[in-house]
């Protein structure tokens, strides 16, 4: 820069200081002191005023891009096309970098300064604002892709192939249906953005329809989806954990079951007198002898039954506990199965649907037969045959409770103990199966006790 000394012909060249960032337009203030000759030249670099909205609005494009400096590295880059871009000039490890922080007027002067200050705070913490911006961009994209619907689908697929804990087909169908009730209000929301109030509003819609148990179960499943999201690093916490007690608790109802020997005998006689289709009738006749879960009974396959060995092995994929379950077959159970073999064997389902052999009887077939015989749902159900066997076998006092539990395929959390029981009680279970069938025959024939 050239500076003329007043009253003289002297010209001085002044080099402006090196600035680490654009700090606005600068000027050199010159003060002359002393006489016109022999005086002293004093000067210093001064920063001009920071940018103003008026100055920005009045800035006109030029042939080449030019900068309008603000403070602390913030400047506005005015393009020949008229665009005005906010940039922040800074250094990291001695290397000069620039950060784009928006366009004017979408980002006003105040917002630009706020973003500049946020970037400076990151730098003070040893972090690179450009790198943090890129990371946030990636995270935003991930959040947009990780919707509740997407994570729900992923979770359900995992549960279907989850080894020994995999959902049974019926459980998968029921769970996916309940979760589908939440997809409309929550499905397209990024899972990371969902708050407890969002989930509560969704399940309350189910609750208002009077489906209290469905609402409770849907909330539980939603919690499982969110916990899966935590485990896979999509979110940091489960929003349903704060919703305990928010829903109306449904009245607990137990499966209807006949537990008095006399009533059991009446039921067995009613089944023998049933005039419905032969396959549902045989299913109801076999059910009390084997007392397996209703879904296991209706999905029975001839490939799993050894008539000669008097053994029915239910594969793990069909059991609730996801473990093979062996059922010893009494003479009475074998007789029913041999009758069935002539009707539906030797391949496929033991109890095929009346419409097609490719599907088993429906899950309501046995219950419908019981209703037709006059038993209400709070009196007797397909599941009630299990409660009947459990109660009367335990009351007999003849059998080890652990053997009864194994016969019912109830889980044992102690794996060593469970393995021991599988072997130790097998002979007892075989004897118990025959005793139980003989006892049922006595009750059917009118005896009140064995």
- Among the listed residues 383, 425, 429, 444, the single catalytic one is 383
Q: Are residues 210 and 237 in the same domain?
A: yes
Q: What is the pLDDT of residue 49?
A: 63
Q: What is the pLDDT of residue 251?
A: 67
Measuring CA to CA, which residue among 222, 231, 239, 234 is closest to residue 142?
Answer: 234
- Among the listed residues 87, 386, 425, 429, the single catalytic one is 386
Q: How confident is the model at residue 164 (pLDDT cuts 50, 70, 90)?
A: confident
Query: For the ranges 27-36, 265-274, 332-341, which has the lowest average pLDDT?
Result: 27-36
Q: Are residues 195 and 339 in the same domain?
A: no
The reply to whether 410 belongs to the active site is yes
Give a yes or no: residue 138 inside a domain: no
Give a yes or no: residue 266 inside a domain: yes
Mind listing the pLDDT tens digit for each residue in 390-409? Answer: 999 999 999 999 999 999 98
Domain end (from 179, 213, 243) = 243
Look at the block and give the residue holding tokens 């004093």: 42
Q: How far apart are CA 379 and CA 144, in angstroms?
A: 51
Q: Are residues 161 and 283 in the same domain?
A: no
Q: What number of other Cβ atoms are within 10 A of residue 89's Cβ?
A: 19
Q: Are residues 294 and 353 in the same domain?
A: yes
The reply to whether 289 belongs to the active site is no
Q: How confident is the model at residue 424 (pLDDT cuts 50, 70, 90)?
A: low
Can the peptide bond before residue 346 be classed as cis, meaning omega within 30 degrees of 0? yes
Q: What is the mean pLDDT of residues 54-79?
A: 93
Look at the block and give the residue holding tokens 């400047």: 75
Q: What is the pLDDT of residue 144?
A: 76
The reply to whether 131 belongs to the active site is no
CA dihedral 150, 154, 159, 162 (to 10 degrees): -170
The answer to whether 336 and 274 are in contact (CB under 8 A) is no
Q: How far apart are CA 199 and CA 177, in angstroms?
A: 17
User: pTM above 0.75?
Assistant: no
CATH number at 188 reads 1.10.150.130
Q: Are residues 315 and 348 in the same domain?
A: yes
Give a yes or no: residue 313 inside a domain: yes
The reply to whether 422 belongs to the active site is no
Q: What is the pLDDT of residue 415?
A: 53
Terminal Cα-to-Cα distance of the chain (whole angstroms): 118
Give a yes or no: residue 214 inside a domain: yes
CATH number at 340 reads 1.10.443.10
Give a yes or no: residue 59 inside a domain: no
Mind listing the pLDDT tens digit for each residue in 342-389? Answer: 999 999 999 999 888 899 999 899 999 999 999 998 899 999 999 999
Number of domains in the chain: 2
Of 7-11, 254-258, 311-315, the range with the highest mean pLDDT is 311-315
Look at the block and give the residue holding tokens 């118990």: 432
**What does the DSSP 8-state code read for residue 137?**
H
Greater confidence (93 vs 338) lies with 338
Q: What is the mean pLDDT of residues 130-150?
A: 84
Measuring CA to CA, which residue among 358, 295, 331 is closest to residue 430?
Answer: 331
The pairs formed by 82-88 with CB atoms below 8 angstroms and a separation of 24 or more are: 84/56, 84/59, 86/112, 86/115, 88/115, 88/116, 88/119, 88/129
The reply to whether 386 belongs to the active site is yes
Measuring CA to CA, which residue among 2, 10, 15 is closest to residue 40?
Answer: 10
The answer to whether 258 and 269 are in contact (CB under 8 A) is no
Using DSSP bridges, classify how beta strands 40-47 and 26-33 pair: parallel, antiparallel or unpaired.
antiparallel
Beta strands in 38-188 (DSSP E): 40-47, 66-69, 74-78, 84-92, 95-104
Domain end (from 210, 243, 276) = 243
Domain end (from 243, 276, 293) = 243
Q: What percent of the chain has pLDDT over 90?
A: 64
Q: What is the pLDDT of residue 228?
A: 96
Q: Are residues 336 and 374 in the same domain?
A: yes
Give a yes or no: residue 188 inside a domain: yes
Phi/psi of residue 172, nearest 5 degrees: -60, -45
User: How far is C-alpha 173 from the chain's CA centre?
Assistant: 16
What is the sign of the dihedral through the CA atoms of 16, 21, 24 and 29? negative
Is the pLDDT at 427 greater than 90? The verdict is yes
- Among the listed residues 320, 371, 398, 422, the single catalytic one is 320
Give a yes or no: residue 382 inside a domain: yes
Q: What is the pLDDT of residue 151?
A: 95
Mind listing the pLDDT tens digit for each residue in 176-217? Answer: 999 999 999 999 999 999 999 999 999 999 999 989 989 999
Q: Are residues 363 and 417 in the same domain?
A: yes
Q: Are residues 266 and 238 in the same domain?
A: no
Is the pLDDT at 320 greater than 70? The verdict is yes
Q: How far apart are CA 15 and CA 391, in angstroms?
A: 101
Residue-range definition of the domain harbouring residue 356: 261-444
Q: Are residues 170 and 312 in the same domain?
A: no
Q: What is the pLDDT of residue 252?
A: 60
Is the pLDDT at 14 greater than 60? The verdict is no
Give a yes or no: residue 355 inside a domain: yes
Q: What is the pLDDT of residue 167?
A: 86
Q: Are residues 305 and 354 in the same domain?
A: yes
- Among the listed residues 84, 87, 113, 293, the single catalytic one is 293
The reply to whether 293 belongs to the active site is yes
Q: How far apart are CA 291 and CA 296, in angstroms?
A: 10
3-state helix, strand, coil in the chain (%, to 5): 50, 15, 35
Q: What is the mean pLDDT of residues 279-299?
A: 95
Measuring CA to CA, which residue among 266, 284, 263 is closest to residue 275?
Answer: 284
Q: What is the mean pLDDT of residues 62-86?
A: 94
Q: What is the mean pLDDT of residues 147-161?
A: 94
Q: What is the pLDDT of residue 32?
A: 43
Q: What is the pLDDT of residue 389?
A: 95
Q: Are residues 290 and 336 in the same domain?
A: yes
Q: What is the mean pLDDT of residues 49-72?
A: 91
Q: Are residues 271 and 399 in the same domain?
A: yes
Q: What is the mean pLDDT of residues 135-155?
A: 86
């Amino acid at each position: 820069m050239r500076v003329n000394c007043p009253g003289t012909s002297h010209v001085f060249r002044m080099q402006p200081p090196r600035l680490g960032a654009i700090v606005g337009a600068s000027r050199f203030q010159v003060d002359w002191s002393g006489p016109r000759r022999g005086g002293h030249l004093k000067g210093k670099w001064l920063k001009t005023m920071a940018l103003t909205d008026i100055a920005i609005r009045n800035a006109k494009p030029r042939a080449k891009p030019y900068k309008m400096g603000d403070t602390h590295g913030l400047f506005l880059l005015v393009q020949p096309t008229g665009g005005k871009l906010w940039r922040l000039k800074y250094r990291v490890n001695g290397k000069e970098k620039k950060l784009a922080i928006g366009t004017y007027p979408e980002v006003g002067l105040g917002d630009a300064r706020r973003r500049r200050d946020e970037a400076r705070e990151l730098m003070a913490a040893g972090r690179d604002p450009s790198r943090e911006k890129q990371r946030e961009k990636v995270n935003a994209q991930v959040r947009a892709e990780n919707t509740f619907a997407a994570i729900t689908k992923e979770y359900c697929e995992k549960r279907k192939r989850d080894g020994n804990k995999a959902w049974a087909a019926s459980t998968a169908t029921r769970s996916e249906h309940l979760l589908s009730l939440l997809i409309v209000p929550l499905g397209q929301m990024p899972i990371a953005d969902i708050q407890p109030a969002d989930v509560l509003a969704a399940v309350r819609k189910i609750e208002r329809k009077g489906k209290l148990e469905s609402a409770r179960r849907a909330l539980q499943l939603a919690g499982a989806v969110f916990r899966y999201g935590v485990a896979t690093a999509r979110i940091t916490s489960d929003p349903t954990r704060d919703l305990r007690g928010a829903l109306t608790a449904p009245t607990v109802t137990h499966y209807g079951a006949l537990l008095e020997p006399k009533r059991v005998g009446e039921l067995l006689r009613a089944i023998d007198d049933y005039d419905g289709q032969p396959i549902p009738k045989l299913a109801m006749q076999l059910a009390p002898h084997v007392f397996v879960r209703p879904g296991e009974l209706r999905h029975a396959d001839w490939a799993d039954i050894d008539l000669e060995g008097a053994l029915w092995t239910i594969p793990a994929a069909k059991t609730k506990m996801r473990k093979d379950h062996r059922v010893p077959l009494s003479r009475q159970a074998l007789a029913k199965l041999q009758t069935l073999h002539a009707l539906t064997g030797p391949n496929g389902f033991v109890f095929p649907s009346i419409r097609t052999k490719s599907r088993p009887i429906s899950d309501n077939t046995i219950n419908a037969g019981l209703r037709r015989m006059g038993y209400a749902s709070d009196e007797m159900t397909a599941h009630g045959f299990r409660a009947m066997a459990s109660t009367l076998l335990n009351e007999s006092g003849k059998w080890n409770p652990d053997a009864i539990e194994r016969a019912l395929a109830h889980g044992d959390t102690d794996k060593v103990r469970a393995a021991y029981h599988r072997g130790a009680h097998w002979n007892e279970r075989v004897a118990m199966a025959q005793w139980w069938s003989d006892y049922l025959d006595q009750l059917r024939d009118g005896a009140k006790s064995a």
